[in-house]
């Protein structure tokens, strides 16, 4: 029985955990070029993340996704994957990554019990990819995608954040790349988290309706009811196994069916991506080490704080001051 039901009758089945706020990229929509990261002592330890995950699974969570920052820069993350992969009752263990570490780690991740990978890919043009990520190497990411395929993952999905005038001319190229690589792809509307100066979010916003219209000029999209417990709405193409997903926090608000909560790298249980409602679980674990029942009670009580919806706008205004890397994907 799932004990995690919020005040609006929604059942939480999906937990996203940020294992670090650090990243080897500096994507323009995610963080500032010069970042100050959390001191190590403020981060949850890997043991605390494992204990927290077990508590959530015992309360009914079926899926856990490890995020960052970039989770593969966290020392010891492979050991954490092995621990979570062994949790009784967890149906799916996933990770969101920028792909830069997959050539090195894909096999160990798969053998450790990781089922699914989401890999960020916003451009197939090396110079543009470098500009959007500030530090990323496109060839390394593509090699990582192929290493993940060879490692035998059940599902690999590319995530592309589209910015009008920046990379929206690559929509069909990205779809064709996903088809050629036999992976899925989701197109994501930019979320207004953190104050950035690199571009004006109001001017670069592109709705997924416009993206879908562009794709449908080349491929017929067939709606499906498939879900991975996340917010993507999936479509299929008659001549490909690759699915196309759309994540639309602005144009098609998915709050009514929200089944997710997040834990930040410093142990804050975030009840909504677009609100600041949260509970400090790190303080509970450190004040009462080993008291699983107290931890679970704190999690259950926190469900009452989950708001009905977020209020993202498309005018470029910042609703949330924290950056995406501090939130956890």
SS3 per residue for the chain: CCCCECCCCCECCEEEEECCCCCCCCCCCCCCCCCCCCCHHHCCCHHHHHHHHHHHHHCCCCEEEEECCCHHHCCCHHHHHHHHHCCCCCCEEEEEECCCCHHHHHHHHHHCCCCEEEEECCCCCHHHHHHHHCCCCHHHHHHHHHHHHHHCCCEEEEEEECCCCCCHHHHHHHHHHHHHHCCEEEEECCCCECCCCCCCHHHHCCCHHHHHHHHHCCCCCEECCCCCCCCCEEEEECCEEEEEEEECCCCCCCHHHCCEEEECCCCEEECCCCCCCEEEHHHHHHHCCCCHHHHHHHHHHHHHHCCCCCCCCCCCCCCECCCHHHCCC
- Which residues of the chain fall below pLDDT 70? 1, 32-35, 191-203, 249-254, 274-276, 309-329
Q: Which pLDDT does position 320 carry in this prediction?
A: 45
**Does 255 carry a binding-site annotation?**
yes
**Does 16 carry a binding-site annotation?**
yes
**Does 13 carry a binding-site annotation?**
no
**Does 23 carry a binding-site annotation?**
yes
**Does 183 carry a binding-site annotation?**
no
**Does 272 carry a binding-site annotation?**
yes
**Does 191 carry a binding-site annotation?**
yes
**Does 36 carry a binding-site annotation?**
no
**Does 28 carry a binding-site annotation?**
no
**Does 120 carry a binding-site annotation?**
yes
Q: Which pLDDT does position 310 carry in this prediction?
A: 54
pTM value > 0.95:
no
Q: Which pLDDT does position 32 carry in this prediction?
A: 67
**Does 306 carry a binding-site annotation?**
no
């Amino acid at each position: 029985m799932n004990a995690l039901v919020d005040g609006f009758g929604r059942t939480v089945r999906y937990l996203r955990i940020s294992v670090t706020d650090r990243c080897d990229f500096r994507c323009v929509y995610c963080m500032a070029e010069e970042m100050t990261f959390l001191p190590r002592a403020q981060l949850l330890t890997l043991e605390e993340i494992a204990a927290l995950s077990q508590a959530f699974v015992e309360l009914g969570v079926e899926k856990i996704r490890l995020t960052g920052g970039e989770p593969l820069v966290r020392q010891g993350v492979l050991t954490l994957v092995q621990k979570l992969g062994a949790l009784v009752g967890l149906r799916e263990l996933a990770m969101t990554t920028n792909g830069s570490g997959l050539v090195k780690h894909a096999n160990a991740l798969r053998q450790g019990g990781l089922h699914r990978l989401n890999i960020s890919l916003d451009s197939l043009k090396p110079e543009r990819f470098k500009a959007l990520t500030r530090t990323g190497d496109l060839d390394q990411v593509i090699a990582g995608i192929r290493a993940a395929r060879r490692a035998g993952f059940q599902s690999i999905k590319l995530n592309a954040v589209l910015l009008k005038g920046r990379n929206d001319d690559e929509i069909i190229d990205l779809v064709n790349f996903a088809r050629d690589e036999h992976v899925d792809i989701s197109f994501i509307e930019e979320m207004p988290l953190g104050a950035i100066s690199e571009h004006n979010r109001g001017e670069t916003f592109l709705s997924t309706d416009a993206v879908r219209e562009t794709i449908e000029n080349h491929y017929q999209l067939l709606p499906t009811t498939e879900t991975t417990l996340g917010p993507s709405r999936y479509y299929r193409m008659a001549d490909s196994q690759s699915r196309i997903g759309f994540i639309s926090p602005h144009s098609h608000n998915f709050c009514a069916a929200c089944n997710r909560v997040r834990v930040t790298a410093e142990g804050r249980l975030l009840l909504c991506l677009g609100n600041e409602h949260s509970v400090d679980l790190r303080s509970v674990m450190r004040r009462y080490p080993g008291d699983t029942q107290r931890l679970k009670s704190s999690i259950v009580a926190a469900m009452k704080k989950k708001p009905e919806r977020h209020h993202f706008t498309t005018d470029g205004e910042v609703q949330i001051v924290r950056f995406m890397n501090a939130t956890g994907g």
